[in-house]
C-alpha cells in the first residue's frame, strides 16, 4: 500500500486541472505577445485567469503578477522593497521559509540594510508584543515579512493582528502565503496586506507556476529582464498552460473550501487521537495539534526519542512523509525551524511532518499508524 502524507511539500494534480492543461496545450499554443489571432487567444486566456484568481482575494486583476512559483514571488517582492520602495529595515523571523530567510540575508549583505528578528513565543509562533516593540523603535522605512502558515509546523500567523500593527506604525507587510492560499480565505480589502505569494502545486495545481499579489500603486521593477510581459514586472513568455491550470485549481479549492476543510481537519484529528493511543508520550511541535492555532493540513510530531532511519523505514513500507531533523533528512543542518523553537535536547529527538489532503482517507491513517507501531 502506498500512502502520501507529504502534501505540504507538494500535492497531486486533480484530474480536472490536468484536463484543462491538456486542452490548453492542444488549442492555445500562440505566444500571448503576438498580435495575430493565435496570440490574442493566448493573451485572453492569461488575462481571464488573472481576473478569475484576483476575485478570490478581493483585488484588481492588475495586482496579480504571474511567476514561476512562490520562491520567485518572494524574491521579487523583497528585492523591490529594498531597491525600489526605499525599505531600510526588514523585520522577519528565524522560522521563515528559506526563500524569504536566505534572500533577506543576501539583501543584507548586498545593500547593508538592517535586519531584525522578532522573538519566537513558547508555542512556536510569533511574539506579537516583541513585534510591536520593534516597530515602535524604527523611524526608517520598514517591511515586515512573516509567513502565514509555517511550512514545517503548520503554525498560523494572525494576519489581521500583524496587518493592524503594520498600519499603525506605517510599515509595509509581506506575507509568504504559499501554505495558506487556497486553504484559507484571504480578503485583502478586510486584511490589507501589501504583498502575498502563492505556488500552484501546494493546492493540487501544476508545478512551476505561482503568483505575487501586489498592493495597488506599488510599482515593481523586474528581476527578469528581456520583455514587457506581466505589465513590465516579469520578462518571459507566459506559461499559459500552467496558468490556466492554476486558475482551475484555485477555483476548485475555494468553491469547496468549507467542505474540504472539515474533511481534512477530521482526518488530522483522527490521526492525532490514534497516534496518542499508540504513543502516549508523543509531542506536537508548535502545538500543531491545536486546531485554533495550526493549519488543518499539517501535523508535526516529536517522538520520545531519536529513531534512526525512521523516514527510510516508513518509505520502505510505502509511507511518504517529511522529517524535521538532520538524521531524518540526510542533511547536516537539520531543521532551522525546529532548532528555533526547541531546546537542544528536544531537537535531537525525531520529528516528522505529516500533511494531509482531501485525497487521503481514514483507512490510510489506520495503515500508517500500524506501520508506525512496527517501526517505532
229 and 291 share a domain? no
- Residue 222: the pLDDT is 87
Mean pLDDT of 136-158: 97
20 and 114 share a domain? yes
What range defines the domain where residue 368 resides? 3-11+257-375
118 and 264 share a domain? no
> Looking at residue 109, which CATH number applies to its domain?
3.40.640.10
- Residue 325: the pLDDT is 41
92 and 156 share a domain? yes
Q: Is 354 helix (H, G, I), strand (E, B) or coil?
A: strand
- Residue 29: the pLDDT is 93
271 and 246 share a domain? no
Q: Pick the last residue of a domain from 221, 255, 289.
A: 255
Across 161-198, b (16+ Cβ under 10 Å) vs e yields ebbebbeebebbbbbbbbbbbbbbbbebeebebbbbbb
- Residue 324: the pLDDT is 60
213 and 284 share a domain? no
318 and 271 share a domain? yes
The secondary structure element, H or E, covering residue 10 is none
Residue 178 scores a pLDDT above 60: yes
> Looking at residue 266, which CATH number applies to its domain?
3.90.1150.10
Mean pLDDT of 25-48: 96
Winning range, highest mean pLDDT, from 131-135, 215-219, 230-234: 131-135
304 and 360 share a domain? yes
123 and 246 share a domain? yes
Residue 355 scores a pLDDT above 90: yes
Mean pLDDT of 331-345: 86
Q: Pick the last residue of a domain from 235, 255, 275.
A: 255
The total domain count for the chain is 2
Residue 49 scores a pLDDT above 80: yes
Q: Rounded to 5 degrees, what are φ and ψ at 113?
A: -70, 160
Q: From CA 213, how far away is CA 61, in angstroms rounded? A: 9
Residue 328 scores a pLDDT above 50: no
Catalytic residue among 327, 348, 369, 376: 327
Q: From CA 70, how far away is CA 9, in angstroms rounded? A: 12
308 and 245 share a domain? no
Instruction: Read off the C-alpha cell for 198.
Output: 502563492
Q: Pick the last residue of a domain from 202, 223, 255.
A: 255
Active site residue 166: no
- Residue 326: the pLDDT is 35
261 and 359 share a domain? yes
Mean pLDDT of 359-369: 98
Rg (CA), the chain: 21
Instruction: Read off the C-alpha cell for 311.
Output: 523516514
Q: What is the pTM of this model?
A: 0.95
User: Which of 65-69, 191-195, 225-229 is predicted least confidently?
Assistant: 225-229
The residue with greater pLDDT, 326 or 178, is: 178
358 and 314 share a domain? yes
Amino acid at each position: 500500500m502506498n500512502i502520501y502524507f507529504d502534501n505540504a511539500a507538494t500535492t497531486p494534480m486533480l484530474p480536472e486541472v490536468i484536463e484543462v492543461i491538456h486542452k490548453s496545450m492542444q488549442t492555445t499554443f500562440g505566444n500571448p505577445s503576438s498580435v495575430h489571432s493565435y496570440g490574442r487567444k493566448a493573451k485572453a486566456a492569461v488575462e481571464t485567469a488573472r481576473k478569475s484568481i484576483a476575485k478570490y482575494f478581493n483585488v484588481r486583476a492588475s495586482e496579480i503578477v504571474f511567476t514561476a512559483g512562490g520562491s520567485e514571488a518572494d524574491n521579487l517582492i523583497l528585492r523591490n522593497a529594498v531597491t525600489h520602495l526605499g525599505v531600510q529595515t526588514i523585520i522577519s523571523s528565524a522560522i521563515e521559509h528559506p526563500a524569504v530567510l536566505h534572500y533577506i540575508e543576501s539583501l543584507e549583505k548586498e545593500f547593508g540594510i538592517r535586519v531584525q528578528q522578532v522573538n519566537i513565543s513558547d508555542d512556536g509562533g510569533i511574539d506579537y508584543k516583541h513585534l510591536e516593540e520593534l516597530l515602535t523603535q524604527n523611524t526608517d522605512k520598514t517591511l515586515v515579512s512573516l509567513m502565514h502558515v509555517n511550512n514545517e509546523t503548520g503554525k498560523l500567523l494572525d494576519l489581521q493582528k500583524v496587518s493592524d500593527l503594520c498600519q499603525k506604525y506605517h510599515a509595509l507587510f509581506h506575507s509568504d502565503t504559499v501554505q495558506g492560499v487556497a486553504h484559507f480565505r484571504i480578503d485583502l480589502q478586510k486584511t490589507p496586506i501589501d504583498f502575498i505569494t502563492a505556488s500552484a502545486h501546494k493546492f493540487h495545481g501544476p508545478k512551476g507556476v505561482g503568483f505575487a499579489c501586489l498592493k495597488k500603486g506599488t510599482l515593481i521593477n523586474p528581476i527578469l529582464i528581456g520583455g514587457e510581459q506581466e505589465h513590465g514586472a516579469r520578462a518571459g513568455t507566459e506559461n499559459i498552460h500552467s496558468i490556466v491550470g492554476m486558475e482551475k485549481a484555485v477555483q476548485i479549492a475555494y468553491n469547496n473550501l468549507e467542505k474540504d476543510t472539515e474533511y481534512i481537519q477530521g482526518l488530522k484529528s483522527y490521526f492525532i487521537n490514534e497516534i496518542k493511543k499508540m504513543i502516549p508520550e508523543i509531542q506536537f511541535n508548535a502545538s500543531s495539534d491545536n486546531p485554533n492555532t495550526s493549519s488543518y493540513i499539517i501535523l508535526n510530531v516529536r517522538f520520545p526519542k531519536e529513531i534512526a532511519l525512521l523516514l527510510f523505514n516508513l518509505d520502505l513500507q510505502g509511507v511518504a512523509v517529511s522529517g524535521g531533523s538532520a538524521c531524518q533528512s540526510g542533511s547536516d543542518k537539520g531543521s532551522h525551524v525546529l532548532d528555533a523553537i526547541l531546546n537542544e535536547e528536544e531537537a535531537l529527538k525525531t520529528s516528522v511532518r505529516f500533511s494531509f489532503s482531501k485525497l487521503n482517507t481514514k483507512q490510510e491513517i489506520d495503515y500508517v499508524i500500524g506501520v508506525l507501531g512496527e517501526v517505532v
